[in-house]
Amino acid sequence: MRPPADPSSPVGFVLGVDLLHIFPLEGATFLCPADVTDPRTSQRILEVLPGGRADVILSDMAPNATGFRDLDHDRLISLCLTLLSVTPDILQPGGTFLCKTWAGSQSRRLQRRLTEEFQNVRIIKPEASRKESSEVYFLATQYHRRKGTVKQ
């Protein structure tokens, strides 16, 4: 997501990416079908984003649930880590990363990785998220890249 340079202007740039077809939505651009785990998708995102950078990466991605809680958790964490691995190419320094997870044993691993790259990392449970669901979101702000990461 790229908010307007002039805050009084209501126009930003929103780019949606999904494996599935997304119906057109006024004011948004979509890359679909596109798999964020495919390096060609990062390339396409860079080509479409104005200035080649996003201020916010927001992920509600989830794999199709198998019903095996641990497996589903691991697959979703892996998806979040893959997305995090492309942030050096896409996210503006100072930017924000929000991703959905299902709570489980690998959550700490994701949290650790986020803490290496962002100044602030919080776990949030939005009001709209059902209380009985294990869904929680990681909100990471003030992106500074991992020490030693060199942008190509």
Ligand X SMILES: C[S@@+](CC[C@H](N)C(=O)[O-])C[C@H]1O[C@@H](n2cnc3c(N)ncnc32)[C@H](O)[C@@H]1O
Contact set with ligand X (CB under 6 A): 17-20, 35-37, 60-63, 79
Q: Closer to ligand X at the Cβ: 37 or 111?
A: 37
100 catalytic residue (yes or no): yes
On the CB side of 147, CA atoms within 13 Å amount to 3
On the CB side of 59, CA atoms within 13 Å amount to 28
Q: Closer to ligand X at the Cβ: 60 or 70?
A: 60
Convert 97-149 into a string of H (helix), E (strand) and C (coil): EEEEEECCCCHHHHHHHHHHHEEEEEEECCCCCCCCCCEEEEEEEEECCCCCC
Integer Cα distance of 95 and 117 in angstroms: 11
* Helices 107-117 and 69-85: angle between axes, nearest 10 degrees: 10
Q: Least distance in Å: CB of 46 to ligand X?
A: 16
Q: Least distance in Å: CB of 19 to ligand X?
A: 4
Q: Are 83 and 107 contacting, i.e. CB atoms less than 8 angstroms apart?
A: no
Q: Closer to ligand X at the Cβ: 63 or 93?
A: 63
Q: Closer to ligand X at the Cβ: 60 or 144?
A: 60
Q: Are 120 and 140 contacting, i.e. CB atoms less than 8 angstroms apart?
A: yes
Catalytic residue among 100, 131, 147, 151: 100
Residues annotated as catalytic are 100
